[in-house]
Structure 1
Amino acid sequence: MKTHQLLFRSLRMLVALCGLSLLLAAPAIATADEVAPDVLVKKVSGEVIDIIHNDKGIQSGDTRKAVELIEAKVLPNFDFNRMTALAVGRDWRGATPEQKKTLTDEFHALLVRTYANALTAYKNQTIHFKPFKMAPGDTDVLVRTEIKQPGAKPVSIDYSLQKGDGAWKVYDVVVAGVSLVTSYRDQFKQEISSGGIDGLIKSLQAKNQAPVATVKK
């Protein structure tokens, strides 16, 4: 339980800096054949920080503006189909095409809410990039980072990216050694056990229809 809480507490507070610094690079990702994933992360970090610093709406907690930014810049760089399949686990194979589409859409919406809330919580965190290794021809890599916060212990946040159709896309985020996908898988398994795939869909829909919590400043 403590690990689970750490994961989501870290995501809410840190995803704005580290997650978006990785994901707000749609133009650069198109040249992924020439630029390594870790280089892309470093390149766009400054751009993201500038956006946050200059957007008074996001700074004041305007979640709507944060959602618009994420929809426009972040989502094209997530492999939501793979993330949803991994989160659902073996029950994914038994879902109908319609259920798979609905699950992916709802999981997509849930993560947008998480990222939007986290973006408005950005403070003074800094990102440190750990040594990166990638062999020629690799299509699945891990970009390892560490987030440093004033008055708190550093938190490791690592990104799993896969290259497909010439573009790198994120399919998992690991916070302090805990996988985002795996954490959701544990929740989804419980929902499926009690209500099947349709029960999980209803649970996600209920969460996405609830008011978005405001981050306390």
Structure 2
Amino acid sequence: MKKLLALCCFLFAGLLPAAMADVTAPDVLVRDVTNEVLEIVRRDKAIQSGDTQRVIELVDARVLPHFDFRRMTMLAVGRDWREASPEQQARLTEAFRTLLVRTYSNALTQYRDQVIAFLPSRFTPADTRVQIRTEVRQSGAQPIGIDYMLEKGAQGWKVFDVVVAGVSLVTNYRSSFAQEIRSSGIDGLIASLEARNRALVDEQKRS
């Protein structure tokens, strides 16, 4: 599930200029960018061979500008977010962003022959928050629904959650974050995330 979730998150990479996000419908944006990224993955021999660093560079350059990691972190932390100081909020956001990138950086290396189908999405031009529905189809397996939750702000459309087979990314982390905060406080959660990030770096260096 995590690899599939990662794949779907990273397929929505930022290949279109930010200015285009202001005028491009969110469903068109998701479709066009996904198709472009898949084409890059198909041609990139380093990604196909499992070059994790190459994927991390791709994510840093293409994905991050189109995801609202502060909002994602706020939703994952839940009501405890209000108790965190601005410095703690910044460290939480950075640690959570790094965790997602590091944990799922091998997702694109797993892509082979999956097909991304774009399902009808209902929204009006006046909407500022939309749900874009897609489906991952692969031979010998049931299709898995992927919903992108986007919000339009001053910098255009940004993803603030991804829902895989009905399971929200941010909600999936919320319970574990809440337990960590109850046990060790905000600083404890930050320390835990940063420790996990260091462990992932070490693991990827050994692979």
TM-score relative to the length of structure 2:
0.92
Letter in 1 for 2:104: Y
TM-score relative to the length of structure 1:
0.88
**SS class of match (2:20):** coil
**After TM superposition, what 4+ stretches of structure 1 lie above 4 angstroms from structure 2?**
none
Q: Is the 8 A contact 2:131 2:148 kept in 1?
A: yes
- Cα deviation for residue 23 of structure 1 reads 2.7
Indicate which of 32, 55, 59 corresponds to 1:66: 55
Does residue 7 of structure 2 align to residue 13 of structure 1?
A: no
1:6 is aligned to: none
2:13 is aligned to: 23
Query: 2: distance between equivalents of 1:30 and 1:95?
Result: 33
Q: Cα gap change, 1:187/1:36 in structure 2, threshold over 3 Å: closer, same or farther?
A: same
Query: 1: distance between equivalents of 2:40 and 2:5?
Result: 16
Q: Cα gap change, 1:146/1:125 in structure 2, threshold over 3 Å: closer, same or farther?
A: same
Letter in 2 for 1:188: F
Identity %: 57
- Cα deviation for residue 14 of structure 1 reads 5.0
Instruction: List aligned pairs for 1:129-168, cutoff 5 A.
Output: 129-168=118-157
- Cα deviation for residue 24 of structure 1 reads 2.8
> How many pairs does the alignment contain?
203
Indicate which of 146, 153, 164 corresponds to 1:175: 164
Does residue 150 of structure 2 align to residue 198 of structure 1?
A: no
Q: Cα gap change, 1:131/1:118 in structure 2, threshold over 3 Å: closer, same or farther?
A: same
Query: 2: distance between equivalents of 1:38 and 1:51?
Result: 20
Query: 2: distance between equivalents of 1:34 and 1:26?
Result: 11
Query: 2: distance between equivalents of 1:118 and 1:26?
Result: 21
What CA RMSD, in Å, does the superposition of the two structures yield over aligned residues?
A: 1.5
1:119 is aligned to: 108
Query: 2: distance between equivalents of 1:60 and 1:31?
Result: 32
Q: Cα gap change, 1:163/1:67 in structure 2, threshold over 3 Å: closer, same or farther?
A: same
Unaligned ranges ≥5, structure 1: 1-8
- Cα deviation for residue 104 of structure 1 reads 0.3
Indicate which of 84, 89, 105 corresponds to 1:95: 84
What is the CA deviation profile of residues 61-94 of structure 1, one whole-angstrom value per residue up to 9, with x for unaligned ones?
Answer: 1100000000000001110111111100000000
